[in-house]
Chains A and B, each alone.
Chain A
Amino acid sequence: MLPPETFSLAGNWGPAAAMEYLLQQLINGITLGSIYGLIAIGYTMVFGIIGMVNFAHGDVFMLSTFIALIFLMALTQILGIGSLAVALFVVLILGMLLTSLWAWAIERLAYRPLRGSFRLAPLISAIGMSIFLSNLVQVTQGPRNKPVPSILSDVIIIREGANYAVTLSYKQILIAVVTAALLAIFWYVVQKTTLGRAQRACEQDSRMAALLGINVDRTISLTFVMGAALAAVAGMLFMIYYGVVHFNDGFVPGVKAFTAAVLGGIGSLPGAVLGGLLIGLIETLWSAYFSIDYKDVATFSILVVTLIFLPSGLLGRPEVEKV
């Protein structure tokens, strides 16, 4: 993902090469940002509907990278499916289904009994769940990095500079297309279907929604399920893009996606996507031009600064504190 190590800003690069380098970073940043955006939606929806930071969401994402990897290998190695497109499609569907099942079970067992309990209880339960999930994967799948068999490794050269070529890989195209398609479906579900209307109603006032005959518990469950399904999409794309999965990969992408949700305005769905893209771009550009060691510090600082100075985010509604 990152530029060749030979590149340095101090080198003898003409303005054209610098331009191309920037273009490349923008492409990489948007790719990374789509993945963050998909995860961020899960945070923002759950926070919108029950006002809880679903701490385990990052680990659900990590779990989905493993599910995608295992199914991809099972399909290609054991069942011997030759067509990569078919395999990826099946992996995507299965990954979404099974990750959603996990999220449903987690909500049912760890969060629902605590609904209406005091404020910190669900957060602590979610932290416990996060520790449980990452260690479950460590115990069952082993603590080492899992290199993914290389797929879709071809690139298209879209602009050739003097000594630097801007490339767009098939993986990046796949990520952009899948993200756009799923966001469109998701947008339709939230805006146009009965389920989406119920969700928006619960988000505004869950007690009133219950009085009007909406099954609030079921709607909340489905919110977790939808968030997890999008995280599973992100998980499969992440697995293909980075080519390696690890049991500890849930925490940092999780916090970054949460940062994206906060930056976009928590509770706002377009905000989550926008925030994801911004975080992806900032992280990529920071690594490219400043310091790769401090890229996570940059993201965390954005989180702190946003929360202090712009707590309602870019597209969020300001929260009025009431007695």
Chain B
Amino acid sequence: MDAAQPRPMATSAVASMLKDALGSALVALGLAVPILALRTEQNMANELILQPRWGYVGIAVLAAFVGRLLYLTAARAPRLPRPRAGLSTAAAGNAGRIFAVAGLALLLLYPPLALTLAGSAGSIKWIDNFGIQILIYVMLGWGLNIVVGLAGLLDLGYVAFYAVGAYSTALLVHNFGFGFWLCLPIAGIMAAFWGIMLGFPVLRLRGDYLAIVTLAFGEIIRLVLINWVPVTGGYAGISGIPRPTFFGIPFNASDEGFAAVFGLEFTPLYRTIFLFYVILALALLTNWVTLRLRRLPVGRAWEALREDEIACRSLGINTTNTKLTAFAIGAGFGGFAGSFFAARQGFISPESFTFLESALVVAIVVLGGMGSQIGVAIAAIGMIGGTEILRELDWLKRIFGADFEPTHYRMLLFGLAMVLLMIWRPRGLIASRRPSIFLRERRAVRAELVREGHG
């Protein structure tokens, strides 16, 4: 790498940096020319024509040149000795606890806070788009964390269980007239059942192969949802799913509605706030169950399995059953989240359950730091909140012209963020894969040593 080279004289250093940056600019030119320079457009006669846009190529090349130059300058600057990232275990535990309590207090107070700050009309957006949306992903992240973070099984088809939960709710409501609160547990059980069904054949695969098979299962379920029109409605989806009720009291403008019973003026705000607390409770339930399970034998077995499957097997752990429980419990929470999603939207279609959603949840878990509950929550807030904020950036239109639509760049930036975060912190934001149980007596045996044959 450039940074590791011995530093020559200043002038030749500048010259080599300029040369390097020029090389980057040339590469950027090669990358940008076909895709950026000419845009394919259909004209009135429906024929494809090319529109030259060389200005963008110039910007890209300039950006690569300046960016590379800045990077090289930064890499050459003398490095300050960085403080060790990891705090001591006890301090980290304390900090984590304080953070968790503060975060929980903030979450509980979030709707009234939004209400006072943004007013009753403006706060719906904040509670719904930011609060509920982010909490759904926090819950999905925590659910998947059981599978990926604790048991170490990469599941790229988690959205399938989310879909099973959502569609079971929708179908139970339409065919049997069940209410949301009855559907919720059934949806979770259904999803867990599917987790066992799908998990059973695939769990002897490892690593990347397991990831691809789960991806294939996720896609198969989505394709079946699209094509099995008599049951699922195909692309049209299922609409008219009733919203959750407050102990049997619906949130509507009728005389039996929530507002009328409690003598309040009707606004849709109450329902939004109620949904916020429902998903908050579900997410916290997921978290609580995970933390408890980690201390049970099965949780220990998951973590052992993540670290070394062969060692587990030789110690007599039934790896298939252990993996299946992780898969089923993770799937069950995905089902709960799906059920909530269906009830919140009132409408579901296969478009909500694409591979992209799976990738999003996996990204949240891995970027948050596999196995770390708080890391997952932070990653969900950052990734989902960050992309939601792009919807709010209308003022950018004043700079880039009226055609500029910040939301178009949502997934572009999301993909870029995934790559950059992975390079910056490959083990995630909070890399705490410390086992929850360990021998008190310390020995000078670490994984590196064992691998080299010292241990």
Q: Do A and B interact?
A: yes
- Find chain B residues with CB under 8 A from A304 CB: 201-202, 213, 216-217, 220
Can you list, as one digit per residue, whether each of B135-171 has a CB less than 8 Å from chain A (1) or not (0)? 0000000000000000000100000000000000000
A55 → B minimal CB distance (Å): 9
Cβ A63 vs Cβ B35 within 8 A: yes
Would you call A120 and B154 a contact (CB within 8 A)?
A: yes
User: Does B419 count as interface, using CB distance less than 8 angstroms?
Assistant: yes
CB distance from A297 to the nearest CB of B (A): 5
- Chain B residues lying within 8 Å of A78, measured Cβ to Cβ, are 50
B47 CB–A CB distance under 8 Å: yes
Separation of A118 and B207 alpha carbons in the complex (Å): 11
How far apart sit A131 and B46, CA to CA, in the bound complex (Å)?
A: 29
A311 to B202, CA, bound (A): 11
- Check if B419 sits within 8 Å of A141, measured CB to CB: no
A136 to B30, CA, bound (A): 15
Q: Are A70 and B34 in contact (CB under 8 A)?
A: yes
Do A255 and B215 have beta carbons less than 8 Å apart?
yes
Interface size class of A (residues with CB under 8 A): 35 or more
Contact call B205/A307, Cβ cutoff below 8 A? yes
A156 on the B face (CB < 8 A): no
Q: Select one of A52, A124, A296 contacting B366, CB under 8 A.
A: A124
* A111 CB, nearest partner CB in chain B, Å: 9
Given A53-B208, A114-B422, A142-B41: A135 in contact with B227 (beta carbons within 8 A): no
Query: Residue B27 at the A interface, CB < 8 A?
Result: yes
Q: Does A144 contact B (CB under 8 A)?
A: yes
Q: Which residue from A140, A149, A296, A323 sits with its C-beta under 8 Å from B35?
A: A140
A294 contacts B227, C-beta separation under 8 Å = yes
B426 contacts chain A at the CB level, 8 A cutoff = yes
B37 to chain A, nearest CB (A): 8
| Interface: B454 (CB within 8 A) | no
**Looking across the interface, which residue of chain A has its beta carbon closest to that of B203?**
A308
Contact string against A for B residues 199-222, beta-carbon threshold 8 Å, 1 for contact and 0 otherwise: 001101111110111011101100
Q: Is A139 an interface residue (CB 8 A)?
A: yes
B74 CB-CB contact with A under 8 Å:
no
Contact in complex: B419, A73 (CB < 8 Å):
no
Given the contacts A53-B211, A293-B227, A132 and B30 also touching, CB distance less than 8 Å: no
Q: Are B208 and A123 in contact (CB under 8 A)?
A: yes
- Complex CA gap A141/B41 in Å reads 8
- Complex: how many Å from CA A224 to CA B291? 42
User: Measured between alpha carbons, how far is A77 from B38 in the docked complex, in Å?
Assistant: 12
CB of B293 within 8 Å of the partner chain: no
Task: Please classify the interface of chain B as helix (H, G, I), strand (E, B), loop, or mixed, using the class held by over half of its residues.
Answer: helix
Least Cβ distance of B87 to chain A in Å? 21
Within 8 A of A (CB), among B33-82: 33-36, 38-42, 46-50, 56
**B50 contacts A67, C-beta separation under 8 Å:** no
Known: A123-B211, A128-B363, A251-B355. A69 touches B419 (CB 8 A): no
Min CB distance, A245 to chain B, in Å?
Answer: 9
Q: Which residue of A lies closest to B226 (CB)?
A: A293
* B49 → chain A closest CB, angstroms: 7
Q: Please measure, in the bound complex, the distance between the C-alpha atom of A280 and the C-alpha atom of B327, giving whole angstroms.
A: 33
Question: Which DSSP category, helix, strand, loop or mixed, fits chain A's interface?
Answer: helix
Bound form: Cα–Cα A147–B100 in Å: 54
- A91 and B38 CA atoms in complex are apart in Å by 15
- Asked if B107 is at the interface of the complex by the 8 Å CB criterion, the answer is no
* B407-439 interface bits toward A, Cβ cutoff 8 Å, 1 = contact, 0 = none: 011011011111100110011000000000000
- With both beta carbons as reference points, the residue of chain A lying nearest to B219 in the complex is identified as A300
Contact A71:B310 (CB < 8 A) given known A297-B224, A307-B205, A311-B209: no
Q: How far is the CB of A309 from chain B (nearest CB, A)?
A: 9
B 274-288 contacts with A by CB, 8 A: none
Contact, CB under 8 Å: A127 / B48: no
**Interface set, chain A 108-142, CB cutoff 8 A to B:** 109-110, 113-114, 117-121, 123-125, 127-133, 135-142
Q: Tell me the minimal C-beta distance from A143 to chain B in angstroms.
A: 9
User: Cα distance A66–B310 when bound, in Å?
Assistant: 46
| A248, B36: Cα distance in complex, Å | 18
User: Provided the pairs A135-B411, A255-B215 are in contact, do residues A74 and B50 lie with their beta carbons within 8 angstroms?
Assistant: yes
Which interface residue of A53, A139, A300 has the most chain B CB atoms within 10 A? A300
Closest to B359 in A: A127
Q: Does B356 contact A (CB under 8 A)?
A: yes
Q: Check B415–A130 contact: CB distance below 8 A.
A: yes
B430 to chain A, nearest CB (A): 15
Contact A144 B213 (CB under 8 A): no
B31 at the interface (CB under 8 A from A): yes
Between A and B, 26 residue pairs with Cβ closer than 8 Å are A69-B48, A73-B40, A74-B38, A98-B34, A105-B27, A119-B207, A127-B359, A127-B418, A132-B412, A135-B415, A136-B35, A137-B35, A139-B409, A139-B412, A140-B56, A142-B39, A144-B42, A147-B42, A147-B46, A294-B223, A300-B220, A303-B212, A304-B201, A304-B217, A308-B213, A323-B310
- Enumerate the 4 nearest inter-chain pairs by beta-carbon distance, A residue then B residue, closest first: A128-B418, A132-B415, A131-B415, A135-B412
What 19 new A-B contacts, CB under 8 Å, besides A101-B30, A146-B48? A53-B211, A117-B426, A123-B208, A124-B422, A127-B363, A128-B414, A128-B417, A132-B412, A132-B419, A133-B415, A139-B412, A140-B35, A140-B56, A142-B40, A146-B42, A148-B48, A297-B220, A307-B213, A308-B204
